[in-house]
Structure 1
Amino acid sequence: MAFVQRMVSDLTGTEAPNDEFVTLVVREHPKLDQAVQLDVLPDEIKGLKSAGEIVVLEVKNGETKNLVVTLAEFNKLHKDIDQILDKAPGLRGRRPGYSPGSRA
């Protein structure tokens, strides 16, 4: 007896060799509470259009809300936003340019 494994697209059910598939990860979606992955063929997703340059933000004030905005919209926050970002501390609270073990 032999076992035969075949791969089919999660979107269309189209069968193809394993090496033709790509993994499409859906990180956020209003109907999902966790990320999921789909096995798809490149032609099935070639029509998806990029939103362009985006910035993903997280706003915290008791609860957390995620925002996705265009880079152009984000840049409107301040005329020197790039310099502000360069000076901003990381999530670990370290000063920019600081590394553990240094005496700076």
Structure 2
Amino acid sequence: MSKRTSDVSGQIVDDDKVITVVIRSLGKLFDATAEELSPLKRVTNVVELELRNPDGSSEEIIVNKADFEKLVTPEVLANADSIRGRRNGYRPSGD
């Protein structure tokens, strides 16, 4: 078994104990242990959104699930495109 170093504490950690933490909003990642991360409180009843702007920029936001559900109905979600594959109704041109 190999060992790695926690970026949080600097202590050597067995490979099977290392958790890689991805900070999406900063495009960064670091290694830590579950014990080191335990003081972080999990937030529940939220929805994570990526807003893609016409100029190509985007931002990730977290919103309250109840507020989201007031705005976006189950019908809207049922008809929404998947993030994988083509958008509904898209037809490549047959030129």
TM-score > 0.5, shorter chain as reference: yes
State the SS of the aligned residue for 1:69. Answer: strand
For residues 20-35 of structure 1, the aligned pairs below 5 Å read: 20-28=17-25, 32=26, 35=27
For residues 4-83 of structure 1, the aligned pairs below 5 Å read: 6-28=3-25, 32=26, 35-57=27-49, 58=51, 60-62=53-55, 64-77=58-71, 81-83=73-75
Count of aligned residue pairs for this structure pair: 84
TM-score (norm 2): 0.69
Letter in 2 for 1:73: D
Per-residue CA deviations over 1:57-83 (Å, capped at 9, x if unaligned) read: 3153545443320111101215xx111
Aligned alpha-carbon RMSD (Å): 2.3
Letter in 2 for 1:86: A
Instruction: Name the % identity.
Output: 26
State the SS of the aligned residue for 2:36. Answer: helix
| Cα offset, 1:86, TM superposition | 0.4
For structure 1, which runs of at least 5 residues remain unmatched after alignment?
Answer: 96-104
8 Å Cα contact 1:55/1:71 also seen in 2: yes
- Displacement over 6 Å in runs of 4+: none
TM-score (norm 1): 0.64
As a proportion of its length, which structure holds more strand? 2
Aligned counterparts of 1:66 and 1:22: Cα–Cα separation in 2: 22
